Amino acid sequence: MSEIDITLTLNGEEVRARAEPRMLASDFLRDRLRCTGTHVGCEHGVCGACTIRLDGVTARACLLFAAQLDGARVDTVEGLGTVRNLHPIQEAFRRHHALQCGFCTPGFLMTVAEILETHPLRTDEEIRDALSGNLCRCTGYEHIVRAVRDLVDARDGVTA
């Protein structure tokens, strides 16, 4: 199968690579662009581990073709913070022990980045609903909810 050129803005940087039109965006990000922070857990859009932001909106990279990234602005976990300078969302996850094996975590971080911008998240129930598209098998979600609650309080200027 012939390959096509794909140009996108990945975490603020313009990148270009070639891929077969049928290649999944998740494989393209991981194997071609070597950004392996986006994980693949089911390849049928349920688990949310591959959640990225496509032009600012969360999307499942496993349900997109690489070709659909052409010309788009794509944000992945690598764009949040670095090991030596974590993003506040990452800091909150660490503070609350909101990750164990860490495999689902990049997807959660991308979802949380979006819902903090778009959702009021007034109650823990609203937080749980907003997170329900991402599966975690280690934490039981309790600490993730607490981390998000902290972030919402910081966003809203509430002192706990």
Partner 1 sequence: MTDALALAPVETVRPKYIGKPVQRLEDPRLLAGAGRYTADIQLDRMLHLAFVRADQAHAEIRAIDTNAAAAMPGVVAVLTAADFADVADLVATSRMQTYNATHCPLLARDRVRYVGEAVAIVVAADRYRAEDAAAAIAVDYAPLAAAIDPAAALAPGAPQLHPEVPGNLVLEREFRTGDAAAAIAEAAHVVEGTFRLARKSPLAIETRAYVADYDRGRDAITLFSSTQIPGVVRDALASLLHLPGNRLRVVAPDVGGGFGGKGSLYVEEVIVAALARRLERPVKYVGDRLEDLTSTSQGFDEVVEARLGLDAEGRFVALEAEVIGDIGAYSIYPWTAALEPVQVVSFLPGPYRIAAYRGRVRAATTPKPPTGPYRGVGRPMAVFALERLVDMAAVRLGLPPDEIRRRNLVRPEDFPFRIGSGIRWDRSGFLECLDAASVAADLTEFRRRQAEARAAGRWLGIGFASYAELTGIGSRIAVAPGMPINTGSETATIRIDATGAVTATFAMASHGQSLETTLAQIVAEELGVRPQDVAVVQGDTDAAAHGTGTYASRSAVIGGGAAIRATRTLLGKVKAAAALLFDVDPAEVETGDGVIFVPGTNHRIDFADLARAVYSDMAALPHDARATLEAQESFDPRLGTTTSATHLAEVEIDAETLAIRLTRFFVAEDCGRMINPLVVDGQVHGGVVQGIGVALLEELQFDETGQILSASLADYLIPTAAEVPSLGVAHLETELPANPGGFRGMGEGGTIGAPAAIANAVSDAVAHLGVGVATLPITPSKLARLLADNEKE
Q: Is 94 helix (H, G, I), strand (E, B) or coil?
A: helix
Among 44, 157, 159, 160, binds partner 1 (CB under 8 A): 44
- Residue 50 CB, shortest distance to partner 1, in Å, is 11
- Residue 39 CB, shortest distance to partner 1, in Å, is 7
Q: Please check whether residue 144 is in contact with residue 98, taking contact to mean a CB–CB distance below 8 angstroms.
A: yes
| Span 57-86, contacts to partner 1 by CB under 8 A | 76-78, 80-84, 86
- Residue 155 CB, shortest distance to partner 1, in Å, is 18
- The single-letter DSSP state of residue 29 is I
- Residue 134 CB, shortest distance to partner 1, in Å, is 8
- Residue 72 CB, shortest distance to partner 1, in Å, is 19
Q: Is 100 helix (H, G, I), strand (E, B) or coil?
A: coil
3-state SS track over 123-152: CHHHHHHHCCCCCCCCCCCHHHHHHHHHHH
Q: Is 96 helix (H, G, I), strand (E, B) or coil?
A: coil
Q: Does 50 help bind partner 1 (rule: CB under 8 A)?
A: no
| Span 106-125, contacts to partner 1 by CB under 8 A | 106, 109, 124
Instruction: Tell me the residue ranges of DSSP E strands in the chain.
Output: 4-10, 13-19, 51-54, 57-60, 73-75
Q: Does 14 help bind partner 1 (rule: CB under 8 A)?
A: no
Assigned token pair, 148: 């998000």
- Residues at the contact surface with partner 1, assessed by CB under 8 A: 20, 22-23, 27, 30-31, 34-44, 46-47, 49, 76-78, 80-84, 86, 90-91, 93-97, 99-106, 109, 124, 127-129, 131-145
